[in-house]
Structure 1
Amino acid sequence: MKINRKLYVSLALLGGVTLVWIVMTIGLVLLTLAPQQRVVVSELLMPRLILVVLTWVFGLGLMAATLRWLIQRYSTAPALLLEQTRTLLASPKALPMNHQGTKETKELADVVYQLAFQRDQLRDEVSTQVALASQGVQQEKDRLAALMAELTQSVVVCNLDGRILLYNNRARLQFKAMSQSPSLAGGAELVGIGRSIYAVFDRALVAHALDSIQQRLLRGAANPSAQFVTSTAAGQLLKVQMAPVRTSNTDDANNVLNGFVLMLENVTRAFDEENRRDQTLHGLTQGCRASLAGMRSALATLEASEMTGEPRTRQRQVLHDEMASMSRRITDLDKEAMHGLKTRWPMEDMLGTDVLLVTQHRIEKYCQRDVSLEILDDSIWLRVDSYSLIQALVYLAARLVDEFDVKFLRLRLLSEDGIAKLDLIWTGQVMSTETVMTWEMDSMQMGAESSPLSVRDVVERHSGELSFGRERVRHEAFYRFALPQVSVQDQPDAASLLHSDSRPEYYDFDLFQTSDQTSALDDRPLSELIYTVFDTETTGLNPSEGDEIIQIGATRCVNGRLLRQESFEQLVNPGRIIPAATITIHGITQEMVSGKPPITAVLPAFHTFVTDTVLVAHNAAFDMKFLQMQEKATGLKFDNPVLDTLLLSAVVHPAQESHRLEEIAGRFNITVLGRHTALGDAFVTAEVWLRLIPLLQAMGIHTLRQAREAAQKTYYARLKY
C-alpha cells in the first residue's frame, strides 16, 4: 500500500506539471501570432485536440512505468532489505535472504547473510561451551523434574504476587478435579505458569497464612509453615500446607520472603471415608454389647437349670469372667475410639465463610433442604476441626428435618467481642429446653449413620459454648456455636506481603523477580505481560449475519516462552448447518460437532482461561466480533486488551505486500503445522508474536499502549466485521 501511494502521488504531480507545461506552451505560441493567425491555428488544432490529449496520456503512462521501476529499484528494494535484515536479527537461524534489487543491494544482502551465518556459528559454539559448563546444573534440573513428576502430593510454587512459577503433574490433575468444567478446559483455566493462584484461593486466606509465617520468622523460627482448609468453587474440601521460599542473597535471608510453596491435598474423599470408618467401629461396638447381653441371658438360663454343685459354680464363674473381660475390652476400645474421634482431625485455620459453604453443601445433600447463608462478617477466621464441627451441624439439621419437618434452614456467621457466633436457624415448631439438652448429649445419629461423639463433645473439642435461642419477632429459633476467633495480625502487614493486585514445562523461576505492577497495564513492557494467543474456526465470514464459532483454540505465552502444554481446544456445536464451502477450508464436518457443547457452555471456561492476560490473534477484529456477538447470551464480556499480529506485522514490515499468516511465518522461518485448525493457528500466531516483540522494541515500541497505538495507525486497522 505504501508503494502504490508513492506511485500515485508522484504520477499525479508529474501529470499536473506536464499538463501545465503543455497549456503554457500552447499559450506562449498563440501569444506570438497575429490575431488572424491565432484563428487559423485554433481552427487547425481544435479538431485535433484529442491527439494532444492521447499523446499526453501515453507520455504519462511511460512516466508511470519508469517511476514504478525506479521506486521498486531504489526505494522499495532498500526498504525490503532493511526489513529482511531486521527479521534476520530476530531469527534464531539465518536463512538466505533471496533479495531482489539492484546489484549493490543484492551484494549487501549476501554480506548481511554471511555476517548472520557467522553469528549463528558463534552462538552455537558459545551454546556448546555453556552446555558443557552447565551439565551439572542441568542434571540437577532433570532430577528436580523427575522428583516433581514422581511426587504423589500436589505441589505449587508461587511468587509473592501469587503467580504460579512451578507445579507438578499431580497438581495439574488436582486442579482438573477442582474445575467447574473439567471436560472443557481440563483445569487449564486454574493452573498455569504465570497464572494467579487466587483463581482458586481467596486472597485474604493466602495473606493470612503468609502473615502467620512472617511473624514466626521474626520470632526466629527455623522452618515455619502454615496450614489451612478451604473449600473450592466445585464443592471440594482442600487441605493446604504452606512453606516459605526465602531469599538467599541477602544478609537477612531468614526473614525475607521471596515466595511460597503450597502442598495440596483434597480431603473430600478422606472426609467421607473417615465417616464410614466411624460407622463401622461404632457398629462393632454396639454389636459386641448386644452379644454381651445375650451371654448374660444365657447365664441366667444356666442359673435356672438343674445343674448343681461344683460344676455349676465353675461354669457360672467362667461366664462371669469372660463377660467382665469382654466388657472391659469394649469399654477401653470405646474410650480410645472416642479420644481418636475427638483428636484425629487437627485444629486448622479456616475462613468462616468456607465452613459455612461446606456445611451448606452437605446439609442440602443429606437433608434435601435448601439452605441460605447470612454472612455478616466475611473476615472471620476460626481454628476448627472441620470434620467434627460440620458433622455436628449436619446432625442437628437432620434431626430438625426428621422430627419437626423443618422446611427452611439458614446458616449465619457474625462476630461479637472477639467471639465468632455460628448459628443454625430454622423456622417452625418451637422445641422444649429438655429436647434441646437431649439432642446435645445424645450420640450423633443420622438415619443408618451414627457416631459415638455428641454435639457437646464437639463443642468441648473447640473450647466453645453451645446455646439455644429464639427470635420471637421473626418466629425463628437457632442453635448458636460460640467459637474462639483466630487472632489475625494487623491487616496492613498481611497486605504488604502482596506486591500487587495481580494474580515440567511446568516452571519458570524467572517469575521470582517480581516487579511493581501497580502501574496501568497499558504502561507495562511487552516483555513482562502474559498473553493468551487464540484463534477461532467458524461457519463463515459474517458474524453479524448468523455465522457461528465451531472451534476455539488457545495457548499461552509467559516470559517470552510459548507454553504449548497449557492450551485450550474445543469443538463447538454451532446450532446450524456448516456450509460445504467452509468445510474444505477447516475440515470440520457436521458429524464432528454433533454432540459437542454449544458456545454458551464453552465461553465461560474460555473466559476463565484468558483471565488476567492480553489477548493476541491474527486479524483479531474477526475473532473478537464473534465473541462480542455472544455477550448477551452468556453475560460474559471479553474486555481484555487485544493485540493483532496482522496489524503489528504491517507496523514492523510496512514494505511487504502480504501480511497473511503463512507469509509472516515464512519470513520468520516458522514451520506451519495444523493450518486452519484453531489450535494449530494459535501456535503459529504465538510464535509470530514472540518474533515480533524484539522487532517492535527495536522501533521504540516497548509498552502495550505504544503497540496498540501503532497498530491503529496502519491501513489494515480500517477492517470492520
Structure 2
Amino acid sequence: MERWSLRFRIFLFFALIVAGILAVLLGAGLYVARGGAEDLADRLALAGLVSCFVLAGLVTWVWLKFDDHVARPLERLGAELSAAVHAGAEVPAEDARARYLGLIAPALREASQELAAARRDVEARVNAATLEAERQKGRLEAVLRDLEQGVVISTLDHRILLYNRFARSLLESANGASCGLGRPLTDLFVAQPLRHALERLTRRFASRRHETHRDGLAAPFISATVSGHESVRGRMSLVLDPEGVRPIGYVVTFDRVTDELAAGIWRDRLLQDVTRDMRQRVAALSMAAEVLLRRSAATGEAESGDLAGLRETVAEETRVLGERLDRLDQVAGDLLSGAWPMTEVFSTTLLDCIAARRSEGRTLTFESGGDTLWLSCDSASVVELADRIVNRIAVETGTRHFRLVMNRRASGASLDILHEGAPMSVALLEAWLDEALDDSLGAMTGHDVLSRHKTEMWPDRDEAGTARVRLPLALAPGREEPAPRQAPLSPLAERPEFYDFDLFARPAPASMGEAPLRTLSFVVFDTETTGLEPSRGDELVSIAGVRIVNGRVLRSEAFDTLIDPGRPIPAASTRVHGITQEMVAGAQAAGEVLPLFHRFVGDSVLVAHNAAFDMTFLTRNRKASGVAFDQPVLDTVLLAGHLFGAGESLTLDALAERFGIVIPQEARHTALGDALATAEVLLKLFGLLEARGVVTLDQAIEVSNRQVSLRRRQKGY
C-alpha cells in the first residue's frame, strides 16, 4: 500500500465516498422495497434518516483518513521545508506520517540535502576567499587589542560599534556600566564634551572647512566617566560613508589622565596658596619697614640719606617680589590650563554652537556677527558658560533675543553677549559664575572655566549703549591666514576585536515596535531556581544573559552570576542544574544582583524560553531590587508555537534538535548554557517568522499574544 502513488490514493478517497453513497442508497432501496404499501412513508423516512447518518459518518471517516494520510503530512513537510530554506534545518530522513505521500517526501528530502550541500559549497568558497583577509584582520586586531589607548567607534547617535580591551577595562571599572555593542557611549562618558565635539566636526564638514583645517575631521576633547572616578583626554575623528558625502559615525581615541589632572589641580592650588600667603607677608613686611623708617626719621636715629636709600631698597625689593609672584601666578595658571585642550575653534562655529545649545529648552532667538577669527579655547566649556549666562539673563530680564558678537582686540578677542535692558550687576554675575554648570559637563563652575582660560567676565555697555556681558578669549597663534589646503581624511580602515560595522547602515526606527526584529538588540536570559513554584517560596539561584546585536550572538558580552536564595536548595533541584548550597554561599542576594542585570539589559528586548516562568521571579523581586523589568518581552515557545503549531514538541531540546543546534551536555540546564541555546534558536526563528510576514517587534508580540489566548482556550476544554 505504501507504494501507491499520491494521485491513486486521492482517487481512492473519492472512490470510497462514491462507493459508500451507492451502497447506502442500494441498502435503503432494498429496505423500502421489502415493505408493503401501507408503511411505505415510514420506511422512506427511516431509510432517509439512517442514510444521512451513515453518509455523514462515512464522509467524516474519509476526511479523518485524508487528513491523517495527506493533509497533515503535507503540512508538516511544508514546515520542515520552510525551516530548511530559512533556518538551515534538514528534512528528517524518515517520517512515518509521510509514508503515504509517494514521491513527495523523498523529493523534499533530496531537495533539502541538495540545498544543504549548496550552502556548504558556498560557505566553503566564502571561507576560502576570506581566509587571507581574516589573517590580515587578525594582525590588526592583535595590534589594537594590545594598544595602551582606548578606542571606540560610535554611530552619530552615540551607539557603540567597536571597542578594544583598554576602553572596556577603563570605562567599566570606573563606572560599573556595561560597555557593549549597540550600547550608548553617553552611559559611560560625560555626554556634553562628546556632543559638542561631534557638533563642531559636523559643522566643519558641512562648511567644507575640514579641507583646510589643520586637524581635518578631528577634534580633541576632555571628558570624564559618568561616575566621575576617571578623567580622559581624547580625540574624536568623524567617519564618512564610502562615497565621502555624509558622516556616518565617529572614532574616539583616549588616554586616562585622572592622576595627571589631579596632580595639576593640586599643584595649582598649592601654588595659589603659596603666592597668596607670600603676597600677604610681603605686604606686611613692607608696611613694617615703612613704620620703622618713619619712626627712625621722627627720632633722628638715622640720616635722611640713609632713610631714602632704605625706602628705595624696600620699594625695589617689594616690586621684584611682586613681579616674581605674578610670574608664579602665571605658571600656576599654565600648569592647570595646560592639561585642558585649548583647541583652534572657528568663531562662527563657536557662536553657532552657543545659539544651538538651548540646554534649558527656552524659546530664544540669536543673531551672530562681528569678526571672523580663529580662537584658542576649550570650546565645550565656553559654550556651556555662555549658554548658562544667556539663560540667567533671560530669567532675570525676560528678554528672549540676544546678539552674539565676536570682536578682535589688541590683546586677543572678545565674545560679547548683548541683550535688552540694563547691564547685570557684578554681584549677580559673580553669583551665576559660582553655580555648577550642566551635569553633562561634570562638576565645573563658571569660575572654573574662566580660571582654565586665564580670563574673566564682566557686565557693561557697548559703544552704542546696549547692555552686554563680555568674555575675552585668546586668538589661535599662527591662524591669521587660511592654512594650506589639505586632502580630506580617509575613513578608519582597522577592524579590531569587538566590532560590527554593519550597524552604520541600520536606520533608527520611529519606535521600537515598528523596528524589524533583526535590527533590534536583545538580551536572551535564563534562570535557575530552587524549584518550580515561586508562589510557594522558590527563589533564584542563578541568572545569565547573552546579548544579540544586529543578528549576532555576542558571547563575549554575557552576564552570568550565582544568587544566594536565602533558603536551602533541594537535592532534586541540584540534580537538575548542579548548583549546591556551598556554591551560593557568600553570593549576592537577588535584590543586589537584579539591578546589575537590569543595567546589563538596558533598552534591549528581553527574550526567554517559557518567559512567563523567568519573568515571575524578576517581578517577585521588584521591591527588593528596586528595579522594574518593563522592557518588551518575547518568548521563543510562543514564537515556535505560531510557526509549528501547538501539537509539536516545543521544548528547548526539541527546537535545538530541529535546527541542528548542539547544546553541550555540561551546559544543559545551566543558566548561561540555556540562554546561549535560546539565543541561537531565536536567530533561526527570525527567518521563518519573516517568511510568515512577522517582521517587526509589534507583529512578533501580536502572534505571541494569539498563542497565549489559544492556550488559555485549550486549557478550558
TM interval, short-chain normalised? 0.5 to 0.7
What amino acid is aligned across from residue 260 of structure 1 in structure 2?
Y
Which residue of the partner structure matches residue 199 of structure 2? 211
Which residue of the partner structure matches residue 220 of structure 1? 209
1:623-642 equivalence runs, <5 A: 623-642=614-633
Task: Say yes or no: does 1:591 pair with 2:582.
Answer: yes
Provide the C-alpha distance between the structure 2 equivalents of 1:284 and 1:201, rounded to a whole number of angstroms.
Answer: 35
Deviation at residue 579 of structure 1 after TM alignment: 2.4
Task: Say yes or no: does 1:232 pair with 2:231.
Answer: no
Which residue of the partner structure matches residue 69 of structure 2? 73
Which residue of the partner structure matches residue 664 of structure 1? 655
Q: Is the 8 A contact 1:245 1:259 kept in 2?
A: yes
Provide the C-alpha distance between the structure 2 equivalents of 1:677 and 1:658, rounded to a whole number of angstroms.
Answer: 21
Provide the C-alpha distance between the structure 1 equivalents of 2:710 and 2:233, rounded to a whole number of angstroms.
Answer: 48
Deviation at residue 128 of structure 1 after TM alignment: 3.6
Match of 1:703 among 679, 696, 701: 696
Task: Say yes or no: does 1:176 pair with 2:180.
Answer: no
Partner SS state of residue 714, structure 1: helix
Partner SS state of residue 101, structure 2: helix
Distance 1:458-1:712 versus aligned 2 partners, 3 A rule? closer
Provide the C-alpha distance between the structure 1 equivalents of 2:531 and 2:361, rounded to a whole number of angstroms.
Answer: 49
Choose 673-682 or 542-551, whichever is displaced more.
542-551
Deviation at residue 633 of structure 1 after TM alignment: 3.1
Q: Is the 8 A contact 1:466 1:482 kept in 2?
A: yes
What amino acid is aligned across from residue 228 of structure 1 in structure 2?
F
Match of 2:498 among 495, 506, 511: 506
Q: Is the 8 A contact 1:556 1:567 kept in 2?
A: yes
Deviation at residue 414 of structure 1 after TM alignment: 7.4
Which residue of the partner structure matches residue 346 of structure 1? 340
Task: Say yes or no: does 1:644 pair with 2:635.
Answer: yes
Q: Is the 8 A contact 1:647 1:716 kept in 2?
A: no
% identical equivalent positions: 33
Provide the C-alpha distance between the structure 2 equivalents of 1:528 and 1:628, rounded to a whole number of angstroms.
Answer: 27
Provide the C-alpha distance between the structure 2 equivalents of 1:167 and 1:604, rounded to a whole number of angstroms.
Answer: 24
Q: Is the 8 A contact 1:84 1:97 kept in 2?
A: no
Distance 1:459-1:276 versus aligned 2 partners, 3 A rule? closer
Which residue of the partner structure matches residue 163 of structure 1? 159
Deviation at residue 282 of structure 1 after TM alignment: 11
Provide the C-alpha distance between the structure 2 equivalents of 1:124 and 1:682, rounded to a whole number of angstroms.
Answer: 27
Provide the C-alpha distance between the structure 2 equivalents of 1:239 and 1:94, rounded to a whole number of angstroms.
Answer: 53
Match of 1:463 among 430, 438, 455: 455
Task: Say yes or no: does 1:689 pair with 2:685.
Answer: no
Match of 1:124 among 120, 124, 135: 120
Distance 1:639-1:414 versus aligned 2 partners, 3 A rule? same
Provide the C-alpha distance between the structure 2 equivalents of 1:134 and 1:602, rounded to a whole number of angstroms.
Answer: 42
Provide the C-alpha distance between the structure 2 equivalents of 1:128 and 1:171, rounded to a whole number of angstroms.
Answer: 35
Q: Is the 8 A contact 1:572 1:593 kept in 2?
A: yes
Choose 695-704 or 201-210, whichever is displaced more.
201-210
Q: Is the 8 A contact 1:646 1:659 kept in 2?
A: yes
Provide the C-alpha distance between the structure 1 equivalents of 2:706 and 2:647, rounded to a whole number of angstroms.
Answer: 16
Task: Say yes or no: does 1:197 pair with 2:190.
Answer: no
1:592-607 equivalence runs, <5 A: 592-607=583-598
Q: Is the 8 A contact 1:647 1:717 kept in 2?
A: no
Deviation at residue 34 of structure 1 after TM alignment: 12
What amino acid is aligned across from residue 511 of structure 1 in structure 2?
L
Deviation at residue 697 of structure 1 after TM alignment: 0.8
Distance 1:460-1:201 versus aligned 2 partners, 3 A rule? closer
Partner SS state of residue 105, structure 1: coil
Provide the C-alpha distance between the structure 2 equivalents of 1:272 and 1:344, rounded to a whole number of angstroms.
Answer: 13
1:127-166 equivalence runs, <5 A: 127-166=123-162
Q: Is the 8 A contact 2:220 2:341 kept in 1?
A: no
Deviation at residue 159 of structure 1 after TM alignment: 1.4
Q: Is the 8 A contact 2:222 2:340 kept in 1?
A: no
For structure 1, which runs of at least 5 residues remain unmatched after alignment? 1-20, 37-55, 286-326, 350-375, 388-410, 426-454, 468-480, 487-503
Q: In the TM superposition, what whole-angstrom CA distance separates every residue of 1:445-498 from its partner, at most 9, and x where no partner exists?
A: xxxxxxxxxx9998484302599xxxxxxxxxxxxx997799xxxxxxxxxxxx
Q: Is the 8 A contact 2:83 2:89 kept in 1?
A: no
Deviation at residue 68 of structure 1 after TM alignment: 6.2
Partner SS state of residue 182, structure 2: coil
Distance 1:227-1:671 versus aligned 2 partners, 3 A rule? same
Q: In the TM superposition, what whole-angstrom CA distance separates every residue of 1:496-551 from its partner, at most 9, and x where no partner exists?
A: xxxxxxxx551111111031422x22221112111111111122222233222221
TM-score of the superposed pair, with normalisation by structure 1: 0.62
What amino acid is aligned across from residue 206 of structure 1 in structure 2?
L
Deviation at residue 208 of structure 1 after TM alignment: 2.1
Distance 1:560-1:343 versus aligned 2 partners, 3 A rule? closer
Alignment RMSD: 5.1
Q: Is the 8 A contact 1:505 1:565 kept in 2?
A: no
Q: In the TM superposition, what whole-angstrom CA distance separates every residue of 1:326-377 from its partner, at most 9, and x where no partner exists?
A: x9xx99997996475254312469xxxxxxxxxxxxxxxxxxxxxxxxxx96
Deviation at residue 228 of structure 1 after TM alignment: 3.0
Q: Is the 8 A contact 2:541 2:563 kept in 1?
A: yes
Choose 564-573 or 93-102, whichever is displaced more.
93-102
Distance 1:122-1:385 versus aligned 2 partners, 3 A rule? closer
Q: In the TM superposition, what whole-angstrom CA distance separates every residue of 1:193-239 from its partner, at most 9, and x where no partner exists?
A: 12222322455543322111122232522423233333433222433
Distance 1:279-1:515 versus aligned 2 partners, 3 A rule? closer
Task: Say yes or no: does 1:105 pair with 2:96.
Answer: no
Q: Is the 8 A contact 2:233 2:257 kept in 1?
A: no
Choose 81-90 or 224-233, whichever is displaced more.
224-233
What amino acid is aligned across from residue 542 of structure 1 in structure 2?
E
Provide the C-alpha distance between the structure 2 equivalents of 1:628 and 1:484, rounded to a whole number of angstroms.
Answer: 57
Distance 1:652-1:505 versus aligned 2 partners, 3 A rule? farther
What amino acid is aligned across from residue 196 of structure 2 in structure 1?
H
Partner SS state of residue 498, structure 2: coil
Provide the C-alpha distance between the structure 2 equivalents of 1:269 and 1:386, rounded to a whole number of angstroms.
Answer: 22
Deviation at residue 628 of structure 1 after TM alignment: 1.7
Match of 1:82 among 78, 82, 86: 78
Task: Say yes or no: does 1:261 pair with 2:251.
Answer: yes
TM-score of the superposed pair, with normalisation by structure 2: 0.62
Q: Is the 8 A contact 1:412 1:424 kept in 2?
A: no
What amino acid is aligned across from residue 213 of structure 1 in structure 2?
L
Distance 1:143-1:277 versus aligned 2 partners, 3 A rule? farther
Q: Is the 8 A contact 2:152 2:162 kept in 1?
A: yes
Partner SS state of residue 607, structure 1: helix
Q: Is the 8 A contact 1:242 1:260 kept in 2?
A: no
Which residue of the partner structure matches residue 238 of structure 2? 245
Partner SS state of residue 96, structure 2: coil
Match of 1:556 among 522, 526, 547: 547
Match of 1:530 among 489, 512, 521: 521
Which residue of the partner structure matches residue 482 of structure 2? none
Provide the C-alpha distance between the structure 2 equivalents of 1:511 and 1:347, rounded to a whole number of angstroms.
Answer: 31
Provide the C-alpha distance between the structure 1 equivalents of 2:38 and 2:537, rounded to a whole number of angstroms.
Answer: 73
Provide the C-alpha distance between the structure 1 equivalents of 2:548 and 2:521, rounded to a whole number of angstroms.
Answer: 6
Provide the C-alpha distance between the structure 1 equivalents of 2:72 and 2:600, rounded to a whole number of angstroms.
Answer: 43
Partner SS state of residue 592, structure 2: helix
What amino acid is aligned across from residue 230 of structure 1 in structure 2?
S
Deviation at residue 565 of structure 1 after TM alignment: 0.8
